[in-house]
């Protein structure tokens, strides 16, 4: 008999929720249950539906996600498994971090977990670049890392989307210049950094797509590696991954952010000037794909047993 899973998306009308629902519609073994829109904020209605499903996906602001998780957990043995798309639980030790390709065994941990925190879009790129290099000790965990990133405006939520689509919005803007962006704790924890990185996010006037870049002085790194050394470490780590790929840097020295839109792929490159002993690590992804809804659907399938942990690899 074919295995099926029933899913409730709490917050399905938001950008991430809609993206998850659209992707799940293509998976015949998933049944999405919806709540009456007039009762979507009714705790009792949500509790009743949670009791009937295998998995609840929380696509809500942080405080609302905490409330929804408490409703689910109050059901005890009848509680569904939880996948949270907010930042509320990403560094909580009782929740498994939902970046399946991050480390060996992570997909299996996701598959077995009662509660999983879906990664943020910016940390997905930064962690994918940094974690293998820190594990290999070619970047020290205490290295002063600077992460620069640009995202399409869909990553900014409803108000930013409305501003850009109604009035055109700014062509480009830096934000979170108080250096307290909510993605910093997970970026630091899962990359393996012991020193808080400087993170400079920005938004461009395009709907979706993302570049995350990390500049490095190669002679400041342990062992003075070459760019080829960094590339080889990334290529080895992700050699069998279906979604994460370490590619050679484009010879023209350019990279645009929208090439992976509407996919769940993540590309990693090392650009360098060896004569100057400088390099830039760059991740490219769709902030709505591998950076949000695409990652969530992969986690849903792992948690529901619809795919095996081994299936994320070739």
The set of catalytic residues is 121
Helices (H), the chain: 15-24, 43-52, 62-73, 106-112, 121-135, 157-167, 184-191, 227-237, 294-303
Q: Looking at the DSSP assignment, which residues form a beta bridge with residue 284?
A: 211, 267
Angle between helices 15-24 and 294-303 (to 10 degrees): 50
Cα angle 260, 241, 204 (rounded to 5 degrees) comes to 25
- Long-range interactions of 70-73: CB distance < 8 A, separation 24+: 71/43, 71/46, 71/47, 72/47
Could you give the CA distance from residue 124 to residue 9 in angstroms, rounded to a whole number?
A: 22
For 34-50, letters b (16+ CB in 10 Å) and e give: ebeeeeeeeeeebbebb
């Amino acid at each position: 008999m074919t295995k099926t899973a029933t899913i409730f998306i709490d917050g399905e009308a938001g950008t991430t929720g809609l993206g998850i629902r659209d992707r799940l519609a293509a998976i015949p073994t998933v049944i999405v249950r919806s709540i009456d829109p007039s009762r979507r904020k009714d705790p009792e209605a949500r509790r009743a539906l949670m009791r009937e499903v295998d998995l609840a996906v929380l696509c809500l602001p942080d405080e609302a996600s905490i409330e929804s998780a408490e409703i689910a957990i109050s059901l005890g043995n009848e509680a569904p498994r939880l996948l949270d798309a907010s930042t509320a639980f990403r560094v909580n030790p009782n929740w498994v971090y939902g970046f399946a390709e991050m480390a060996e065994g992570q997909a299996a941990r996701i598959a077995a977990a009662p509660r999983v925190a879906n990664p943020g879009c910016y940390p997905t790129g930064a962690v994918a670049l940094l974690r293998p290099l820190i594990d290999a000790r070619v970047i020290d965990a205490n290295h002063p890392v600077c992460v620069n990133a640009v995202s399409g405006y869909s990553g900014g939520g409803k108000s930013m989307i409305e501003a850009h689509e109604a009035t055109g919005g700014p062509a480009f803007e830096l934000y979170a210049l108080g250096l307290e962006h909510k993605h910093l704790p997970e970026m630091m924890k899962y990359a393996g950094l012991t020193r808080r990185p400087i993170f400079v996010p920005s938004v461009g006037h395009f709907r979706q797509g993302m570049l995350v870049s990390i500049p490095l002085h190669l002679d400041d790194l342990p062992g003075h590696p070459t760019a080829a050394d960094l590339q080889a470490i990334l290529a080895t780590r992700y050699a069998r991954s279906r979604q994460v790929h370490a590619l050679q840097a484009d010879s023209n020295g350019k990279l645009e952010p929208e090439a992976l839109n509407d996919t769940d792929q993540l590309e990693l490159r090392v650009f360098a000037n060896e004569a100057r002993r400088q390099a830039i690590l760059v991740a490219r992804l769709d902030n709505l794909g591998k950076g949000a809804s695409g990652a969530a659907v992969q986690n849903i399938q792992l948690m529901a047993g619809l795919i095996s942990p081994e299936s994320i690899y070739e």
